[in-house]
Structure 1
């Protein structure tokens, strides 16, 4: 530890912060505030006129006990009454009425809100109580993969979506770097040292978890100001609706420069992460017994709460995808206790929200003794664990319900914000109820925890509904038919058949294949070793594509239908890329140049350009929209260039050398044309050249050559359209007629 004068300085700084206003908040606002907030939500959603037909109110007395969320529906005709035990419960009741009585639909891609007149009557009084204390939302990574460039208008829509889907516990992590900067400056770090520590905006999630430092930075001063403003608005709205925001806490990671200010500090440099070298990873972790640990933790949390108030829930991840320096249970318990004690030194009512991903990610390290050490270091009930990937690899079943600590059964589903039709709806449907029935279960909630949002909306609709159900949906086939009808606002038999095919194919994943990450050759750096195996019959995708096209005369007015038609067309072309790749690879292995050029030519010169053209017809699939959002956050051209480069790197190379290559892959118009197409064309040309010259294909040399193309895309300043071009329906139809019939029969 540092010298005595340094300790006195730190204690003095902490004392000054302790004198600041506490700014504590309750877990929920009062009834009148929440009533006003949910009425304002209804007006935003429906418009002031239609919203006036709903009498919305918050009444705490509806709850059967502490932590119970209940809504009650009644009435009909000219007036429907919706009462909730909280703002969230009332919003969820409104959504339940709109969905099940009016056939409406609310999703990320848009809403279908055609209300019947008169409003359908609720038979008697419908009361529904959630069997779970918490319905949680977000993943630490979501803030980087999806939220990073959002303004308040976009956040407002998301919080509305959260409330309507019954979410009452969510991360609120914006603006924390501004707080850390204050703390670091108070500790004696220079601004230059802080700039070297923070990552760029698109990589903040991994800076917050200690995985990265410096990459993509520095953070401009204007970034901090805007994020503070945004965080205040987000927190105010969440609290007004009765949600509980989860704020960040100190997990033990410090900037390297701390060792300059405190030369005797006891820190351990952890190993590298994500194929980065130590110039950007290898976190510095304070020893749990070092006096600097509680001081830094208290300084940060006190300043955070002074700025934002608190609802007593805090998130921190010390060993996310990083192996601890010791497997000794005593060390792991001490490291865990140090984090918790730094919280409770400032907030005696603190509850620690811990992502349980570490136990799932490195099961060979986290044996029973190691897991038990972490779980036992925090008093029972004060550690709330997210079983983050429970739909695929639940941890609660092998840890005796996390050693008696309460946990939330979470569906992770999506990694990196990838596009690609995917889901494990049967496992998701059964999972929460199974967790409740587990012997001595301590499950207290359900969670939606994707790394990226804005895809596969059917999966999230089901998961949100399960937060209000004691039992699984009895018939998923009937459920998905209702989903299609609500989504499009009309019952269309061909569309229903298409959705049932998708339910039993792409959305029926099980086992190891259900990793939630798109491994299609389309979005991977080409090689001869690419795996094209899928768990479903590809002909089901092509048939669903055909059925949606058949349904177009009745549904073209539906924005949701047009979105789904594009998404299924995109998926169909993705399947075709795999099939043509297999043909090209087989031709190369047989040394058939003509076959290679034929299959490779279709893939690289026809299929992918056709995909880019279809994607360009919808603003939600435009690279230009994503880059424009990034640039719009900036206050100068230099900032705009930095933010755009962050975006381009995240979508492609991720790190300077392709460190986590294509992890956050998307299928966006512009990205396909200028990133995927050049790679595939170079691959086909290189294979053809190797056959013509009679020399083996050299993957290592190809990787070096293609990296130059990938890097050129990242460093480019080419502008892309942010407005759609072309008609989705016509493009989907013409693309199907050009490609799909050649490949439908007998494919798998």
Structure 2
């Protein structure tokens, strides 16, 4: 590919979203000043001067910040945009004050006087975009959020320099207007929409109906939220990505347009066609353009636009044909519907389809999609680039601009995991790729609120021109900032975690927790890990030693519990191996011993320590869902949405345990009964001399799983017990020989 073509492609994207729609300098500066007050309080906030000056980016055209002052004078933060100024503020708090802003709790103890910036520090980002979110994040993490929680997240985004993010709330209310205007009935629309916890897959055409319907009150609340989200994002100078029409329609569209060319796709995710098998309009059908244009017109009328739109036609679904001509037409139809309404439209496409089904997406098929949109008007997310980059096998997406993304997490799982070295080196390698069309970096997890060290590194890389030179030193500094003090034990613990759970490479790095603890039991469970478990146990010990000095630090208590949770997860694997070996060797006493410890000691101890922190409570999770409702019937529907998502996912365990979490209440009433039934079945098998039958066990355990989902049991929403004390008791009783007793 010629360098000139690359330059043309990048030129479109450098201009996309820029201009008056993001707000003027004064508005963005005011937004950042308000953030400083929310973050630090009005008193400390007075020590900072914030301004937004577009001229700072005159030389590079890229977001730039400048820091100066301090040391008795006000700290002066200037940015070319509100996002750049917020990122500059975060840089000062992080590198000069030793502070940290994180999901689990921020450490913001400012030194007095504020440290001086010795020489004015000016930093320009190396790329146009720092992107955030995965379509699935909306369902796995954001689904029940109110405005207060959204405000916190948008502040986190601004501080981490995010300037491009999905803003997809409220779109179903717009779709309802469109479909009613086209002649569908309310009942046909209600039947089509999924429930709130499954909207991500309804939006991508994977699902319909399951978990629904959506209520009028849901639509009203989501419209309200979307307006506030967009207003705040734009006030910082962020570019919100709005949704567009990808071609998926309700089955009832054929009643209104009987001549419409609609084809049913295959099923998805082990669902049958009652909930899957999307209906896709043929690209040449005039109804395609009608619906796509009408939706975008109505959406822009309601929310305005920043000219970047997201749509995914073939996410985890095989197209009707592999013929390049069909794929070109299907792609072009989506884009044409956009530019009919917004001639400046840029299409943000998740590149997951090329990664998920590489056997279908050969080079002719990839070229057909990427070439169907003018150069620079398709912005591709290389969604899983830290593990399986697509840009390397598509000649940098055939010249279309792309964003190097870290996906990291699947399903919002708990479980310590990361590939920090691959993340650290990846963006630079993509930038150096021949004729690279990389225009940004991205954070694209399916679920947030876990493994914060991974996200801290990725956010920092969005502003670095080179990889972090020494990750061991970086993670030690991360620990010191996180806890507000440099301490030998905590820093050593984090270096052990860096070389173990955060040092994944190769096929193991799918970012999904496959621990036996959170999976339906069987005799074929895989307990292998890519690291030495002793490193986790030693990190656990070191954190417990440090605990006496850090008991009031929220992030430390979170980390201690999280590492304790991980250690118990490792112990479950070890006791499972003992139990399986005992069963295979027909050693009943050994089976009873290992199984008894696992079910009646270890899992209850895990549930108890999880109960000591509100961030690990099933009750808190379910209460968020119920809190959105305006009636008991609605509250019950939302709670069932949450229970299904965490466990069976679909009515028959269609995507079983995919979105697994380790929460107090879930361990006690879902994982523990499953393990109890499994081990009792093994004991009965030995005692009666009959083979264990997995399919018979699956039928029985499904009743246990379903009973949890359908239960109306309420769970505590306030923590009970002391995390440090409970973690220490588990350590002293269960940590492997050679570690225990050394606190």
Query: Does TM-score exceed 0.5, indicating one fold?
Result: yes
Aligned to 1:556: 551
Q: 1:596 maps to what in 2?
A: 591
CA contact (8 A) 2:617 2:663 kept: yes
Q: Does 1:167 align with 2:162?
A: yes
Q: Structure 1 residues 66 and 470 mapped into 2: Cα distance closer, same or farther (>3 Å)? A: closer
What is the DSSP-based 3-state SS (H/G/I as helix, E as strand, rest coil) of the residue aligned with 2:379? Answer: strand
Distance between the aligned counterparts of 2:20 and 2:663, measured in 1?
43
**How far apart in 2 are the matches of 1:203 and 1:33?**
36
Which residue does the alignment assign to 1:534? 529
- Which of the residues 40, 48, 71 maps onto 1:46? 40
Task: Determine whether 1:487 maps to 2:482.
Answer: yes
1:260 is displaced (CA, Å) by: 1.1
1:553-580 CA distances to partner (integer Å, 9 max, x unpaired)? 2211211111000000000000000000
Which residue of structure 2 lines up, in the alignment, with residue 225 of structure 1?
A: 220
Distance across 1 between alignment mates of 2:490 and 2:387: 29
Residue 75 of structure 1 is aligned with which of 50, 53, 69?
Answer: 69
Deviations 1:388-428 (A, max 9, x none): 00000000000000000000000000000000000000000
Of 646, 650, 653, the residue aligned with 1:655 is 650
Cα distance in 1 between the residues matched to 2:698 and 2:254: 39
Q: Which residue of 2 aligns with 1:276?
A: 271
Tell me, in whole angstroms, the C-alpha distance in 2 between the residues paired with 1:44 and 1:731. 34
Q: Specify the alignment match of 1:11 in structure 2.
A: none
Match of 2:208 among 213, 225, 231: 213
Q: Does 1:367 align with 2:358?
A: no
The reply to whether residue 139 of structure 1 matches residue 160 of structure 2 is no
Deviation string, structure 1 residues 143-199 (Cα, Å, up to 9, x no partner): 000000000000000000000000000000000000000000011100000010000
In structure 1, the partner of 2:4 is: none
Q: Does the aligned pair in 2 maintain the 1:25–1:311 contact within 8 Å? A: no
Give 2:625's aligned residue: 630
The whole-number CA distance in structure 1 between the counterparts of 2:256 and 2:651 is 30
Partner of 2:519: 524
Q: Alpha carbons of 1:59 and 1:552: their partners in 2 closer, same or farther (altered >3 Å)? A: same
Q: Distance in 2 between matches of 1:314 and 1:202?
A: 22
- Are 1:733 and 2:723 an aligned pair? no
Aligned partner of 1:681 in structure 2 is 676
Partner SS state of residue 197, structure 2: helix
What's 1:503 paired with? 498
Superposed displacement of residue 517, structure 1 = 0.1
What SS does the corresponding residue of 1:132 show, helix, strand or coil? coil
The separation in 2 between residues aligned to 1:723 and 1:88, in whole angstroms, is 35
- Map of 2:199 onto structure 1: 204
RMSD (CA atoms): 1.0
1:443 positional shift: 0.2
> What is the distance in 1 between the residues matched to 2:20 and 2:672?
53
2:30 counterpart (23, 30, 36):
36
Name the SS of the counterpart of 2:154 in structure 1. Answer: helix
Is the CA contact (8 Å cut-off) linking 2:66 and 2:78 kept in structure 1? Answer: yes
1:60 aligns with 2:58: no
Q: Could you tell me how far 1:743 is from its partner in structure 2?
A: 7.9
Q: Which residue of 1 aligns with 2:410?
A: 415
8 Å CA contact retained: 1:95, 1:164: yes
Find the aligned partners of 1:428 and 1:684 in 2 and give their Cα distance: 40
The offset of 1:66, in angstroms, is 7.0
Matched-pair contact (CA < 8 Å) for 1:576–1:743: no
SS of residue paired to 2:640:
helix
Q: Which runs of 5+ in 1 are unaligned?
A: 1-23
Q: How does 1:141-156 map to 2 (within 5 A)?
A: 141-156=136-151
1:744 Cα offset (Å): 5.4
- Residues 1:695 and 2:663 are matched in the alignment: no
Query: How far does the alpha carbon of each residue in 1:523-559 deviate from its partner, in whole angstroms, 9 at most, with x for none?
Result: 0000000000100000000000000001112211211
Task: Check 1:67–1:170 CA distance in 2 against 1; reply closer, same or farther (3 A cut).
Answer: farther
Structure 2 CA distance for partners of 1:424 and 1:728, relative to 1, 3 Å: same
Give the whole-Å Cα distance in 2 for the aligned partners of 1:583 and 1:602.
11
Contact 1:505 1:536 in 2 (8 A): yes
Structure 2 equivalent of residue 104 of structure 1: 99
Normalised by the size of structure 2, how large is the TM-score? 0.96
Whole-Å separation in 2 of the counterparts to 1:291 and 1:681: 58
* SS of residue in 2 equivalent to 1:185: helix
Give the secondary-structure state (helix, strand or coil) at the position aligned to 2:736.
helix
Please give the alpha-carbon distance, in whole angstroms, between the structure 1 residues aligned to 2:652 and 2:554. Answer: 40
* Residue of structure 1 aligned with 2:612, choices 609, 617, 627: 617
Corresponding residue number in structure 2 for 1:16? none
Are 2:333 and 1:338 equivalent residues in the alignment? yes
Deviation at 1:729, TM superposition (A): 0.5
Q: What SS is found at the alignment partner of 1:307?
A: helix
The answer for the alignment partner of 2:567 in structure 1 is 572
> Aligned pair 1:349/2:349, yes or no?
no
Cα deviation for residue 65 of structure 1 reads: 4.9
Q: Does 2:308 match 1:309?
A: no
Q: More displaced, 128-137 or 60-69?
A: 60-69
Q: Which residue of 2 aligns with 1:457?
A: 452
> Structure 1 stretch 146-155 or stretch 61-70: which is displaced more?
61-70
What is residue 176 of structure 1 aligned with on the other side? 171
Q: How many residues are treated as equivalent by the alignment? A: 722
1:358 equivalenced with 2:380 (yes/no): no
2:541·2:739 contact (CA, 8 Å) conserved in 1? no
Question: What stretches of structure 2 of length at least 5 have no aligned partner?
Answer: 1-17
Please state whether the residue corresponding to 1:429 is helix, strand or coil: helix
**Counterparts in 2 of 1:248-267, with a 5 A limit?**
248-267=243-262
Measure, in 2, the Cα distance between the counterparts of 1:429 and 1:261: 53
1:163 & 1:25 partners in 2: Cα distance? 18
SS at match of 2:75: strand
Question: What residue in structure 2 maps to residue 234 of structure 1?
Answer: 229
Q: What TM-score does the superposition give when structure 1 sets the normalisation length?
A: 0.96
CA distance in 1, matches of 2:498, 2:324: 45
Report if the CA contact (8 A) 1:375-1:402 is conserved: yes
In 2, the alpha carbon distance for the partners of 1:472 and 1:68 equals 19
Q: 2:80 aligns with which of 82, 85, 106?
A: 85
